[in-house]
């Protein structure tokens, strides 16, 4: 299928934010998601800033065996890793190891037959279509299905209309006439304008691109890492991969204030600690029951003849 990229004023460059709260007077702890940062409730010294419940999946999803993404009918999802743009102080091997561990975590969920399969990127190739659109490098053509597109400066997040988080996932969907691709998060605003060949009510994904903020601080130490000012690399890769697989945020987060309403601490509600909690700044290298349920809701029927997701 010949695909051209639409670049009209309808293109909305809003992307899927990573975990983390933005608290007034603080540097953005973990990965800030502007759209989830609002006071929902105040009681007894606790300020609730997120409370996302229920089955949280995006209204845009991959179609199983979609021949528009791959010539062969396959239930696999393919991914690439751009190792040309690395975080300060990290080797390509350390980045590769963290991402591969994140992939292995999702591949180990037993409810689905679909698997994430790596495709070797051209050595030295700077991948990332969203990055190209912002004039900060990248490549002219988006690649299915998932691209870990490397580390980009805060300027990139600002240009796509996203608060500078530690990580972000950028979607590209099929247009309604299936002759072009639409980058950004337009599909939420007008889903009827986008392809939905399996009639599941979701826009059909062509590609998801994962970016990390080169101005943030990362670590590979699961014990001393993931403070308010450093994020565990594997944890953020796992969280963003969840987004790339169509999972939204869920969970509850509270900010603890003193009697003068000064910031004391931020904590994820112990009853809702999950990888996909928007404010989970803890080291999280495993999936919670909620995370697995969300993944299985989307992918349990993949690989079953005649059934979609």
Residue 165: which region, alpha, beta or left (left: phi > 0; alpha: psi -120 to 50)? Answer: beta
Residues 49 and 55: their CA atoms lie apart, in Å, by 19
Please give the full DSSP string across 102-132, using - where no structure is assigned: HHHHHHT-TT----EEE-PPPTT----HHHH
**Euclidean distance between CA atoms 19 and 159, whole angstroms:** 20
176 band by pLDDT with thresholds 50, 70 and 90: confident
Q: Which residue has the higher pLDDT, 193 or 208?
A: 208
pLDDT band at 291 (very low <50, low <70, confident <90, very high): confident
Question: How much of the chain, in percent, has pLDDT values that exceed 90?
Answer: 33
Helix and strand totals (H; E) in the chain? 5, 15
Alpha-carbon distance 145 to 199, whole Å? 20
Given this model, what pLDDT does residue 261 score? Answer: 54
| Stronger pLDDT, 45 or 161, i.e. the higher one | 161
Give CA–CA dist 203/193, Å, rounded: 9
pLDDT grade, residue 190 (50/70/90)? low
The more confidently predicted of residues 193 and 210 is 210
How many Å separate Cα 41 from the centre of its chain?
Answer: 27
Residues facing 171 on adjacent strands: 208
Residue with more model confidence, 197 or 50: 197
Query: Positive or negative, the Cα torsion across 51, 53, 56, 59?
Result: negative
DSSP-derived 3-state class of residue 152: strand
The mean per-residue pLDDT over the stretch 45-74 comes to 69
What digits encode the pLDDT tens for the residues 221-261? 876 555 556 788 998 899 999 999 998 876 555 555 555 65
What pLDDT, on a 0 to 100 scale, did the predictor assign at position 155? 93
Please give the domain boundaries of the chain with CATH numbers for all domains.
4-299 (3.40.390.10)
Sign of CA pseudo-dihedral 283, 20, 277, 106: negative
pLDDT digits (tens, 9 = 90+) for 14-40: 344 433 322 222 222 233 332 333 333
> What is the predicted pLDDT for the residue at 65?
85
Kindly report, residue by residue over 102-123, the tens digit of the pLDDT. 999 999 999 988 899 999 878 7
Q: What is the mean pLDDT of residues 3-23?
A: 36
């Amino acid at each position: 299928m010949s695909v051209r990229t639409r670049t009209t004023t309808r293109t909305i460059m809003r992307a899927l934010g990573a975990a983390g709260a933005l608290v007034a007077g603080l540097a953005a702890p973990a990965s800030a998601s502007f759209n989830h940062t609002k006071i929902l409730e105040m009681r007894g010294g606790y300020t609730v800033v997120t409370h996302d419940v229920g089955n949280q999946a995006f209204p845009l999803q991959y179609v199983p065996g979609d021949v528009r993404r791959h010539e062969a009918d396959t239930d696999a999802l393919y991914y690439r890793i751009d190792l040309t743009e690395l975080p300060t102080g990290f080797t390509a091997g350390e980045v590769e190891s963290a991402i591969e561990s994140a992939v292995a975590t999702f591949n180990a969920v037993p409810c689905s037959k679909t698997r994430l399969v790596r495709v070797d990127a051209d050595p030295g190739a700077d991948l990332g279509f969203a990055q190209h659109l912002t004039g900060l490098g990248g490549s002219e053509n988006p690649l299915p299905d998932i691209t870990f597109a490397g580390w980009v400066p805060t300027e990139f997040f600002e240009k796509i209309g996203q608060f500078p988080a530690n990580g972000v996932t950028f979607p590209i969907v099929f247009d309604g006439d299936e002759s072009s691709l639409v980058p950004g998060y337009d599909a939420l605003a007008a889903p009827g304008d986008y392809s939905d060949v399996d009639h599941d009510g979701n826009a059909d994904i062509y590609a998801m691109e994962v970016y990390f903020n080169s101005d943030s601080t990362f670590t590979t130490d699961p014990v001393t890492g993931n403070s308010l000012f450093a994020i565990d690399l594997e944890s953020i890769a796992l969280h963003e991969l969840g987004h790339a697989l169509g999972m939204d945020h869920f969970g509850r987060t509270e900010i603890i204030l003193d009697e003068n309403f000064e910031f004391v601490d931020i904590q994820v509600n112990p009853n809702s600690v999950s990888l996909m909690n928007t404010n989970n700044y803890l080291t999280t290298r495993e999936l919670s029951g909620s995370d697995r349920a969300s993944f299985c809701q989307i992918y349990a029927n993949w690989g079953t003849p005649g059934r979609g997701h």
